[in-house]
Structure 1
């Protein structure tokens, strides 16, 4: 199967290209142009690793952490821009909390798997060009030729990763073949997380893919046949992304979030994140917001489709072009969805926003509550006094009472 994402060759395409020109260590055949959504991903990973590593390495029970990239690539792009391995290594070696993390080769292992011999060799060359001999670094960096779908478990075993936190990045060129069993093994490991990306073509070409591949990726035939996929192409990818999000929960993660990455230009990319840590969810969203805010691109909640946007625009026709001083329509819409199930405290709304929506954080609950009260769409209990996390909100036609449970 050949899957090609705009601006980046598919894996099979790359192999043909490299083989046709011979094994290049540092030749152009290994490289391809950097596109905008890949650049955005790199900034997200850099920010998240910068938060993930110091949190865990300062936990008393943690002896080591392992970071693994299953599709590492050649380490740079055609115009010389850095690939994700350089970002990842640099984010630790140049971290302002490096001393507090007590970096050492026993405490940090970074594994970069790349199936192409030419790209693997180029990656080693690129990393040693910047960082020097890898075995002399204060962290353990391993560049290995291997396939993510076949060699992830053995690589983690070989480097004694199990029983300690793992962050697995499965960021392919669009052709996701990592078995659900691999994801599940990581999910069952203490304090471990995964990030999996999908290119837009992967979902649209479902009919051309052997069903056994879907069984492998989603965990079973039943898992990906939960319901009929919509015929509409725009809704199809949303359906499949939500099915994969559920597959991560089935694998053993307590929390799973899905994102649509919309760069300033170019095609979107889809990302699913799985973790057992609610603190990890918050840190991931913080990293996402920093990229979103600083770099002129967006991480969207895939559930906000055209129909949902039209519904929100009908509620707030003058506010659909977001005013920075007004709680966004999507945020208010999600809070109203929750309140349709019954009254909830501001604190419970914050928990819901954190774990059940792609973008929103607990602090956004207060922002939304104030705006919805001002719009007259919700009522509160108690009716007077300062709005706090304990204040209970209800839909305006269902007034809250002071004794209403606040679990939502």
Structure 2
């Protein structure tokens, strides 16, 4: 691959997700309190596989659109941007791409030292150098968003993820390229040991021989790794663009608000841009256009119904408990979706209401008792 390459549809869809998520993330962390006048402490965004800053046909790369949308954010006047408070770190390993990224940023934004935020463009390796740069800039003790968007190779040690997970109000996004699961046999087992925390954690996934199941098993294995890294919440999802191959992402955060913000970004992209986000736990709703079809009919999505059924196989739960499980454990579903799903399932007889009276958020729900023959 040369210095520049074509923008793949899945990457374009992922960029739209990042843009919408960051549009919410920056003001949450940076807006000054109108009541107290208190400005939050500094915030660091780390793009550890930054790329050359531009694609072959001129589309902006992540460092360019991240910086541009921050500087032109609708709430920028309330964010109190200063180079001490806001750090953007872009790491690129390839010498030519690193040089192109620097040139691209300077041509778009002028002298980086004159910007109201600190921009660091480093040539280095994500797994080896991320912690060192965060140390150097004094990022620890303040919110960090680490984007580990390697496309072809997931090779960031779990120690890096663990350090970020233990840091206050911090999150990570890791991307698996469309061919990663089929090319896994070419990766160094010692590298996988560092990524997943030991050979015993990833060899069961490597033993999966069914092609259609490999991505699910590996994605779940990596989500489990982020759980061991001590992220309180982890999302795993498949991003399917209008055309082209899908992309796979795992998101780790310690905050329910972070979950809600990421899922809200998914819904905005899904509703308006034609992308689709699927939960790896389900198999019955894997086709494009499903969201529009079910919404137009006023029905709950089949993926949602399947997930609620999976939750109830563990045991009865109230609608509130189902909603909390949807938030914490599923790729895109929110607590507000629980009541609609249970109502539809109750009408069809696929769940049983165990609380008398009208269906409410406090109603206890279970799967029907098996019919004895």
Identify the residue that residue 328 of structure 2 maps to in structure 1: 355
For the pair 1:220 / 2:198, whether they are aligned, the reply is yes
Gaps (5+ residues) in structure 1? 1-8, 15-29, 311-318, 399-408
For the pair 1:288 / 2:288, whether they are aligned, the reply is no
Identify the residue that residue 5 of structure 2 maps to in structure 1: 32
CA distance 1:309–1:81, shift in 2 (3 Å): closer
Tell me how far 1:91 sits from its aligned partner: 2.1
Instruction: Please give the alpha-carbon distance, in whole angstroms, between the structure 1 residues aligned to 2:6 and 2:160.
Output: 30
Q: 1:340 aligns with which of 299, 313, 319?
A: 313
Identify the residue that residue 130 of structure 2 maps to in structure 1: 152
Asked whether the equivalents of residues 320 and 329 of structure 1 are also in contact (C-alpha less than 8 Å), the reply is no
Identify the residue that residue 189 of structure 1 maps to in structure 2: 167
Instruction: Please give the alpha-carbon distance, in whole angstroms, between the structure 1 residues aligned to 2:96 and 2:254.
Output: 36
Tell me how far 1:69 sits from its aligned partner: 0.4
For the pair 1:86 / 2:64, whether they are aligned, the reply is yes
Instruction: Please give the alpha-carbon distance, in whole angstroms, between the structure 2 residues aligned to 1:283 and 1:323.
Output: 22
For the pair 1:50 / 2:23, whether they are aligned, the reply is yes
For the pair 1:392 / 2:364, whether they are aligned, the reply is yes
Q: Specify the SS of the correspondent of 1:72.
A: coil
For the pair 1:74 / 2:47, whether they are aligned, the reply is no
Tell me how far 1:141 sits from its aligned partner: 1.2
Instruction: Please give the alpha-carbon distance, in whole angstroms, between the structure 2 residues aligned to 1:177 and 1:395.
Output: 42
Q: 2:94 aligns with which of 101, 113, 116?
A: 116
Identify the residue that residue 294 of structure 2 maps to in structure 1: 322
Q: For residues 194-228 of structure 1, give each alpha carbon's deviation from its aligned partner in whole angstroms, at most 9, with x where no partner exists.
A: 00001132221222322111101111112213566
Q: 2:115 aligns with which of 134, 137, 144?
A: 137
Q: 1:268 aligns with which of 227, 234, 246?
A: 246
Asked whether the equivalents of residues 346 and 392 of structure 1 are also in contact (C-alpha less than 8 Å), the reply is yes
Most deviating of 95-104 and 265-274: 95-104
Tell me how far 1:117 sits from its aligned partner: 2.0
Q: Specify the SS of the correspondent of 1:202.
A: coil
Most deviating of 373-382 and 110-119: 373-382
Most deviating of 388-397 and 358-367: 388-397
Asked whether the equivalents of residues 62 and 165 of structure 1 are also in contact (C-alpha less than 8 Å), the reply is no
Q: Specify the SS of the correspondent of 1:266.
A: coil
Instruction: Please give the alpha-carbon distance, in whole angstroms, between the structure 1 residues aligned to 2:152 and 2:93.
Output: 15
Instruction: Please give the alpha-carbon distance, in whole angstroms, between the structure 1 residues aligned to 2:13 and 2:316.
Output: 38
CA distance 1:227–1:169, shift in 2 (3 Å): closer
For the pair 1:371 / 2:344, whether they are aligned, the reply is yes
Identify the residue that residue 204 of structure 1 maps to in structure 2: 182
Identify the residue that residue 3 of structure 1 maps to in structure 2: none
Instruction: Please give the alpha-carbon distance, in whole angstroms, between the structure 2 residues aligned to 1:323 and 1:51.
Output: 25
Q: For residues 35-93 of structure 1, give each alpha carbon's deviation from its aligned partner in whole angstroms, at most 9, with x where no partner exists.
A: 10010111111111111121122476841110000110110101111111111112211
Instruction: Please give the alpha-carbon distance, in whole angstroms, between the structure 2 residues aligned to 1:239 and 1:364.
Output: 26
Q: Specify the SS of the correspondent of 1:299.
A: strand
Identify the residue that residue 157 of structure 2 maps to in structure 1: 179
Instruction: Please give the alpha-carbon distance, in whole angstroms, between the structure 2 residues aligned to 1:77 and 1:155.
Output: 26
Most deviating of 153-162 and 198-207: 198-207
**RMSD of aligned Cα (Å):** 2.0
